[in-house]
């Protein structure tokens, strides 16, 4: 399809920022296919951020869906001075915080969440790492579980900066945008968060 | 500089954000101080572990769920109308309406399952699985509540005039797998969803087999007096 090829080529030549603007314009115009593209572009990062913040894949999936519905409904209010990505991160963190607050009252989340995570991890790791020996796969899974458990044990705010920085690779400036806090606050929070996690993972008393 | 001061700078040191003179000082200290060296190594390992967390994928494709949700909303122009006052919902066009009031920690919540006028599910479209729940169409036997929810403190504190329009999916084993608060004060969406997830049902049925059913419900706090004792 010559026409289709031309359209794709012209979008790609716009550059990432301009392509995002044009995608946003299409979404605002009610183009369902454009919004579907926006969702698929960001779905993995939204799900993984929610997963690391909550530790439970089913909750993360529900939050991810809510995130995109909120994106859809508030697209008109998004200011294009910041990247779409940072804005979406902010929605993810806020929705996770709401959900987490509720959980904290119930104090029953952790064991359930981790069991579910490990059950799913198992099959996925087995698929993803066929080249590995069974020992490696198990070791990796256990390690991921240990890290996730430690992440859930530190405070929500510490976890948020840590995941945005180390997993999502945001700069401190981007994190500041995402969380609506000063860059200096991000840096000091990050230092404390890293230390808190180190203490959890590396000192035997804290691990239990 | 004490070891404690040195360690306070490790985070910036690892990010390469220290001034060159400070960074040199830190490197020298770490070389000569085994405790700080261990601490720094542990910090590096920790960050590597976090960065190495596997990228997971959602148990279900999120794009599909979002699209289905938006389609559902666009196919229901009456939705917005439904969300306004609580009363008009009880008009005959939504009949039959079953009304059930449950006593939740002495604070009853009125839950009105809503039966929109939906055609009977065509066999080809029919699945009734959790990812494709059925609407309450003719021939679909509605799930029946067997265990109500415990009212969350936050919800118990909601003003009495609040109402919410909610979609819940009741699974084939009678659990509530998804709760979407479609309308109402979003500040209470999380506790409401939590409460509803605790409900248990006799599952809905279609042609004799248990099916996942999507229930649209209007939930309102009703003004009640505590029982006189
Ligand atoms: Zn030292």
Its domain, for residue A47, covers 1-112
Structural domains of chain B, count: 2
Indicate yes or no: pTM above 0.80: no
| B178 closest CB neighbour out of A32, A62, A99 | A62
Q: Do B69 and A201 touch (CB under 8 A)?
A: no
Indicate if B145 and B226 belong to the same structural domain: yes
Residue list, CB under 5 A from ion ligand 1: B 3, 33, 36
Indicate if B229 and B203 belong to the same structural domain: yes
Classify residue B160: in a domain, yes or no.
yes
Classify residue A138: in a domain, yes or no.
no
Residue-wise pLDDT for A86-115, tens only, equals 899 999 999 999 887 776 666 554 444 444
Its domain, for residue B82, covers 60-111
Q: B227 in the Ramachandran plot: left (φ > 0), alpha (ψ -120 to 50) or beta?
A: beta
**Distance (Å, whole) CA A171 – CA B147:** 48
Classify residue B164: in a domain, yes or no.
yes
Instruction: Assign residue B149 the CATH number of its domain.
Output: 3.30.2420.10
Q: Do B62 and A39 touch (CB under 8 A)?
A: yes
Query: Domain end: B111, B141, B174, which one?
Result: B111
Half-sphere exposure (Cβ direction) of A91: Cα atoms closer than 13 Å: 24
Classify residue A41: in a domain, yes or no.
yes
Classify residue A166: in a domain, yes or no.
no
Q: Do A48 and B12 touch (CB under 8 A)?
A: no
Q: Which of B14, B45, B56, B60 to mutate to test the interface with A (most CBs of A within 10 A)?
A: B56
Instruction: Assign residue A44 the CATH number of its domain.
Output: 1.10.1740.10
Peptide bond into A57 cis (omega under 30): no
Indicate if B78 and B156 belong to the same structural domain: no
Classify residue B51: in a domain, yes or no.
no
Do the beta carbons of residue A186 and residue A174 sit within 8 Å? no
Nearest to B207 by CA among B120, B133, B85: B120
pLDDT at B91: 37
Classify residue A118: in a domain, yes or no.
no
Residue-wise pLDDT for A118-164, tens only, equals 444 444 444 444 555 777 878 888 999 999 999 999 999 999 999 99
Q: Do B46 and A144 touch (CB under 8 A)?
A: no
Residue-wise pLDDT for A15-51, tens only, equals 677 778 888 888 888 888 889 889 989 999 999 999 9
**Distance (Å, whole) CA A25 – CA A31:** 9
Q: Do B11 and A128 touch (CB under 8 A)?
A: no
Classify residue B99: in a domain, yes or no.
yes
DSSP conformation letters of chain B = --HHHHHHTHHHHHTT-S-HHHHHHHHHHHHH-HHHHHHHHHHHHHHHHHHTSPPP--SS-HHHHHHHHHHHHHH-THHHHHHS-SGGGGSGGG-S---EEE-STT--EEEEEE----PPPPTTT----SSSPBPS-TTEEPPEEEEPPPPPHHHHTS-TT-EEEEEEEE-TTSBEEEEEEEEE-GGGHHHHHHHHHT-EEEPEEETTEEE-EEEEEEEEE---PPPP-
The interface predicted TM-score of the complex, written ipTM, equals: 0.79
Residue-wise pLDDT for B60-77, tens only, equals 889 888 888 887 777 654
Q: What is the mean pLDDT of chain B?
A: 73
Classify residue A204: in a domain, yes or no.
no
Classify residue B50: in a domain, yes or no.
no
* CB of B50 less than 8 A from some CB of A: yes
Classify residue B174: in a domain, yes or no.
yes
Indicate if B70 and B98 belong to the same structural domain: yes
Q: Is the pLDDT of residue B49 over 80?
A: yes
- Residue that is written with structure tokens 């240990």 in the block: A146
Classify residue A130: in a domain, yes or no.
no
Indicate if B130 and B171 belong to the same structural domain: yes
Give the distance from residue B46's alpha carbon to the nearest chain A alpha carbon, in angstroms. Answer: 6
Structural domains of chain A, count: 1
């Amino acid at each position: 399809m010559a026409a289709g090829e031309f359209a794709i080529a012209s979008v790609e030549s716009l550059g990432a920022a301009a392509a995002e603007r044009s995608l946003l314009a299409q979404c605002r115009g009610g183009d369902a296919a454009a919004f579907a593209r926006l969702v698929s572009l960001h779905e993995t990062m939204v799900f993984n951020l929610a997963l690391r913040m909550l530790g439970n894949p089913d909750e993360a999936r529900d939050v991810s869906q809510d995130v995109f519905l909120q994106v859809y409904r508030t697209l008109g209010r998004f200011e294009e001075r910041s990247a779409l990505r940072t804005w979406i991160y902010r929605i993810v963190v806020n929705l996770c915080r709401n959900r987490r607050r509720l959980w904290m009252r119930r104090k029953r989340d952790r064991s359930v969440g981790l069991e579910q995570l490990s059950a799913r991890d198992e099959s996925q790791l087995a698929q993803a790492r066929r080249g590995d020996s069974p020992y490696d796969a198990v070791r990796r899974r256990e390690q991921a579980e240990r890290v996730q458990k430690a992440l859930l044990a530190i405070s929500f705010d510490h976890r948020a900066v840590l995941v945005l920085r180390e997993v999502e690779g945001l700069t401190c400036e981007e994190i500041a945008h995402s969380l609506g806090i000063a860059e200096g606050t991000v840096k000091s929070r990050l230092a404390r968060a890293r230390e808190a996690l180190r203490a959890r993972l590396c000192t035997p008393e804290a691990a239990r | 500089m004490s070891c404690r001061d040195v360690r306070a700078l490790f985070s910036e040191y690892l990010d390469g954000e220290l001034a060159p003179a400070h960074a040199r000082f830190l490197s020298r200290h770490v070389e000569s101080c085994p405790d700080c060296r261990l601490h720094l190594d542990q910090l590096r390992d920790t960050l590597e572990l976090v960065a190495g967390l596997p990228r997971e994928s959602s148990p279900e494709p999120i794009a599909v769920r979002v699209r289905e949700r938006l389609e559902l909303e666009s196919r229901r122009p009456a939705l917005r109308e439904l969300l306004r006052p609580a009363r008009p919902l009880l008009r005959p066009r939504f009949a039959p309406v079953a009304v059930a009031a449950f006593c939740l920690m002495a604070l009853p919540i009125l839950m009105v399952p809503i039966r929109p006028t939906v055609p009977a599910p065509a066999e080809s479209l029919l699945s009734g699985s959790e990812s494709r729940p059925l609407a309450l169409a003719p021939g679909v036997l509605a799930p029946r509540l067997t265990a109500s929810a415990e009212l969350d403190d936050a919800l118990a504190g909601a003003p009495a005039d609040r109402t919410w329009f909610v979609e819940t999916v009741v699974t084939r084993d009678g659990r509530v797998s998804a709760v979407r608060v479609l309308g109402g004060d979003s500040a209470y969406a999380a506790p409401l969803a939590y409460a509803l997830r605790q409900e248990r049902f006799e599952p809905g049925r279609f042609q004799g087999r248990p099916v996942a059913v999507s229930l649209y419900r209007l939930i309102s706090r009703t003004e009640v007096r505590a029982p006189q004792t």
